[in-house]
Chain A
């Protein structure tokens, strides 16, 4: 099933049986029975409250958590650790303070011939709109700009999947909305698969092809809602509000009444 041909790269198959964290007070079940297939070029948002395991799920895909039962496949290949086929952006920019914007973006490209490296870096600097800031240092950048650099760094290795862990959560509301627009245009330009974790329902509905709703204790997938609205999406549009309400209902009201409302769309 998994080994069938892949027309496009960037298919993620997640089959996690369970993932537990052991602490001093015993072990905590973070994820249980997660089955999810993400299609090539798809934009998937994972929403859920804190402690629902959404970040853990993303870290497993990134290869930063390897101690779990189950398996994650990228294009049919089982993942065993981090790799350049996945780019990761965290909530904090995690830029290296001693490197310029240019060198931060090129951090993972050390193996490339210098000419190609610098061409790639320039491409991604342009893509995230930081053309005249390449020789600035992270402390000279605003929060939004830092996060753009982090996105460029994640994309510079030309990953098949871009993984974003609440990337805009620490930005102010206006910057966040601008960054949401920009991540869409970056996605449209690069055509990578994107998995974005957020606790912001509106963000998920604005961005995603599919919204994966998770519930906590243990972290499971509660439902997956497709968003069949054309982009760019209008946040005040009636349909948009309906989908948002559906996700909201799915997150907060047990019983899944929201599903009915959504199917009538």
Chain B
């Protein structure tokens, strides 16, 4: 970038800075205290829970104290079990999500762009969607065995539909007025897709990816509960079998942490891709 251009940018930035109305100073302080408001109930609940557990009002093997759950996670981490199980679960989610989301992208784009493909494929896919996905488990186990393949297949099914639906619907509902702009500039079909359609549907597509990822996490739990010898879901089953509620609770918390973290990563990626469009 030349110096002149840099100056231009600086001028521009100065101009918007002036244009943007600043909230009054006390507004910001008020806003922070409102954010803290949401923490009051969880913290209070944790304290009450801890207190009840310590006083023996809640039986230890039924609902162990938060500190005990924390200690369990710590011990799992030190022993190395945590990393082993978390690693395999994350790998399953990753592979299943990538496969499912890729297929969802392919079919979504196809049915969204070509009406004939939609008429051909959409009714069948919608029919498959109406099957509660967990109902596939016995069939997948029968076909693909108890090993990784069946689990990954199940996770892929979970990730597929939100991506497929969001992309297909977004492409179908793209504003024809925008497509007309492409027509005016004589864009080819390929240019139309790359320069108009893809950027236009990107926000909806990212929403689809996020819900697909959420479902991938949900389905990994199902897959691991129903037959696994590793993974956080397996830890849960193990905790149940051996009557250790602390391990079950620790697993729940781990699922929450991993699910939230990957969602946050996907959101950050989306924001980056959407650039200034994301408000």
In-complex Cβ contact of A137 among B180, B185, B277 (8 A): B277
Most B C-beta atoms less than 10 A away, residue of A96, A134, A137: A96
Identity of the chain A residue whose Cβ is nearest the Cβ of B191 in the assembled complex: A110
Q: Which residues of A contact B12 (CB under 8 A)?
A: 132-136
- Chain A neighbourhood of B199, CB < 8 A: 96, 98
| CA distance in complex: A96, B277 (Å) | 11
CA distance A132 to B16 in the complex (A): 9
Asked if B184 and A64 sit within 8 Å, CB to CB, the answer is yes
A78 to B200, CA, bound (A): 34
B interface: dominant SS: helix
B11 within 8 A of A: yes
A88 to B181, CA, bound (A): 9
Distance between Cα atoms of A246 and B275 in the complex (Å): 52
How far, in whole Å, are A47 and B99 apart by their CA atoms in the complex?
57
Picked from B15, B177, B186, B202, the residue with its CB within 8 Å of the CB of A82 is: B186
Q: Mark A63-78, 1 if CB is under 8 A from B, else 0.
A: 1100000000000000
- Chain A's closest residue to B184 (CB) is A82
A163's nearest neighbour on chain B, judged by CB, is B184
Q: B8's contact among A90, A92, A134, by CB below 8 Å, is which?
A: A134
Q: How many residues of B contact A (CB 8 A)?
A: 24
Task: Tell me, yes or no, whether A83 is within 8 Å of chain B by CB.
Answer: yes
For B186, the chain A residues whose CB sits under 8 A away are: 81-84
**Residue B48 CB within 8 A of the other chain:** no
Q: What is the CB-to-nearest-CB distance from A55 to chain B, in angstroms, rounded to a whole number? A: 13
Q: Give every chain A residue within 8 A of B16 (Cβ-Cβ).
A: 136, 140
Residue contact B183 to A64, C-beta cutoff 8 Å: yes
Given the interface pairs A88-B184, A133-B12, the reply to whether A98 lies near B177 with Cβ below 8 Å is no
Interface bits B136-161 vs A (CB < 8 Å: 1, else 0): 00000000000000000000000000
CB distance from A92 to the nearest CB of B (A): 7
Q: Please judge, given known A-B contacts A132-B11, A132-B15, A136-B16, whether A96 and B181 are in contact too, CB under 8 Å.
A: yes
B202 nearest in chain A by CB position = A98
Which chain A residues border B253 with CB–CB below 8 Å? none
Interface residues of B in 76-96 (CB under 8 A from A): none
Q: Provide the A101-114 mask, 1 if CB < 8 A to any CB of B, else 0.
A: 00000011010000
Instruction: Check if A242 is an interface residue, CB within 8 A of chain B.
Output: no
Q: Is the Cβ of A96 less than 8 Å from the Cβ of B196?
A: yes
Asked if B29 lies at the interface with its beta carbon under 8 angstroms from chain A, I say no
Check: A62 CB closer than 8 A to any chain B CB: yes
Considering only CB atoms, which chain B residue lies closest to A88 in the complex? B184
Contact B178 A96 (CB under 8 A): yes
> CB-nearest residue of chain A relative to B276?
A137
Given A97-B277, A132-B15, A133-B12, A84–B178 Cβ distance below 8 Å? Answer: no
Chain B nearest Cβ from A95, distance in angstroms: 9
Chain A nearest CB, measured from B204 CB (Å): 13
Contact mask for chain B residues 7-25; partner A; CB cutoff 8 A; 1 contact, 0 none: 0110110011000000000
If A96-B178, A96-B199 touch, does A135 touch B277 (CB 8 Å cutoff)? Answer: no
Q: What's the minimum C-beta distance from B114 to chain A, rounded to whole angstroms?
A: 22
- Chain A 51-63: CB-based contact to B (< 8 A → 1; otherwise 0): 0000000000011
User: How far apart are the CA atoms of A157 and B178 in the complex, in Å?
Assistant: 18
Contacts of B180 in A (CB 8 A): 64, 94
Within 8 A of B (CB), among A199-223: none
B16, B180, B184 pick with most chain A CB within 10 angstroms: B184
Known A82-B183, A96-B199; judge A135-B9 contact (CB<8 A).
yes
- Docked CA distance A108–B196 (Å): 12
A-B pairs with beta carbons under 8 Å apart, 23 shown: A63-B184, A84-B185, A84-B186, A88-B184, A92-B177, A94-B177, A94-B180, A96-B196, A98-B199, A98-B200, A107-B181, A107-B195, A110-B195, A132-B8, A132-B11, A132-B15, A133-B12, A134-B8, A137-B276, A137-B277, A139-B279, A140-B16, A157-B185
Besides A107-B185, A137-B277, 7 new A-B residue pairs in contact (Cβ under 8 A), listed by A number: A64-B184, A90-B177, A96-B196, A96-B200, A98-B199, A132-B12, A137-B276
Chain A interface (Cβ < 8 Å from any Cβ of B): 62-64, 81-84, 88, 90, 92, 94, 96-98, 107-108, 110, 132-137, 139-140, 157
